[in-house]
Amino acid sequence: MIVPANSFIATSEAVGRNRLKVVFADIQSDYTIDPQSVKARISSKTSAIIPVHLYGHPCDMDAIMELAASYGLRVVEDCAQAHGAMYDGQKVGTFGDAGTFSFYPGKNLGAFGDGGAIITNNASLVERCRMMANHGRFGPRDHLLEGRNSRLDGLQAAILNVKLSYLDGWIEQRQRIASIYNSHLDPKRYALPVVSDRVRHVWHLYVIRHPQRDKLMHYLRDKGVACGIHYPIALPKLAAYAEHRSSCTRFVACQQDVSLLSLPIGEHLEGDAMAYMLEALQHFEA
């Protein structure tokens, strides 16, 4: 299965846990999987593509679905960071054979604990997923396969049900914050996010690049500005995937990981906090 080189390990981990081979593809300027890199890695053994709508930016789903149709491949969309995101007016998670969502508390739509969901319009896949989440159970006593305990408990579901009605408003606030960053940060000093005009970006993260990322990060933290790195080591460079390292050294993802920095973003941010952060960024001396 083909996965992007820049993502959280959960994406590639899902492939390995199912005893399938991970094949990494590079990313493009918006940090999502590069369809041309995917095409170059398709072989007779390829079964599926996992496009990750990273940081809240949808992948190029026209190109991905065209490749899938041409080569008879499945598409499983990783929407863990893209609740409510759209590509050409269509919600992510509805293009491929299935879409997966995370409800980890830090997500745009988060529960008060771990949780997630799978969406699909394939009835047989629905049945199998439900069995997998409930120890492979079929009927009150029988188990057709070995599954796991992945049931979403009622408390988390109730919390998500309430929060769902606020999601669009939260997305709009995140978009406003991203717009403030975009209009006030100097693109000559910071590599700002690239956004396709075909998407609704939901800004789970606002990620910039800087050649002295670590110095910038420590400077901001000293100023009381929380920031993070998503992700500090590209997947092919992790010890868990050592066998892939040599074949991916020229990947953009494997070169940019040392310069990525996630700035604060969220529906909770207000004008004074934004002004303080922007002033700190404008006065940073490399």
Please provide the DSSP assignment of 239-262 as one string.
Answer: GGGGGGGGGGTT-SHHHHTTTEEE
Predicted confidence at residue 138, as pLDDT, reads 87
Please provide the CATH number assigned to the domain covering 2-164: 3.40.640.10
The DSSP code sequence of 35-78 is HHHHHHH--TT--EE--B-GGGPPP-HHHHHHHHHHHT-EEEEE
Fold of the 167-282 domain: Aspartate Aminotransferase, domain 1 (3.90.1150)
Q: According to the model, what pLDDT value does residue 140 have?
A: 82
Q: How far is CA 100 from CA 46, 76, 97, 162, 262, in A?
A: 20, 7, 10, 20, 23
Sign of the torsion angle spanned by Cα atoms 89, 69, 46, 242: negative
Amino acid at 256: Q
Tell me the domain boundaries of the chain. Answer: 2-164, 167-282
Tell me which residue has tokens 């609704």. Answer: 200
The 3-class SS string of 185-201 reads CCCCCCECCCCCCCEEC
pLDDT at position 228: 97
Farthest-apart Cα atoms in the chain, separation: 66
β pairing state of 199-200 and 86-87: antiparallel
Give CA–CA dist 231/246, Å, rounded: 19
- Coil vs helix vs strand at 268: coil
Sorted by sequence, the CB contacts under 8 Å of residue 9 that are 6+ apart come out as 235, 238, 240
Cα–Cα distance, 81 to 206 (Å, whole number): 12
Q: List the beta bridge partners of residue 23.
A: 2
What DSSP element (H or E) covers 209? strand 206-209
Q: What is the pLDDT of residue 177?
A: 97
What pLDDT does residue 278 have? 97
Write b or e for each residue in 209-245: b if 16 or more Cβ atoms lie within 10 A of its Cβ, otherwise e: bbeebeebbebbeeeebebebbbeebbbbeeebeebe
Which stretches of the chain score pLDDT less than 50?
none
DSSP state, residue 220: H
User: Residue 137's pLDDT is what?
Assistant: 92
The β-bridge partners of 228 are 262
Q: Work out the angle between the directed axes of helices 213-222 and 271-282 (0-180°, nearest 10).
A: 130
- 139-189: per-residue pLDDT in tens? 888 999 999 999 999 999 999 999 999 999 999 999 999 999 999 999 999
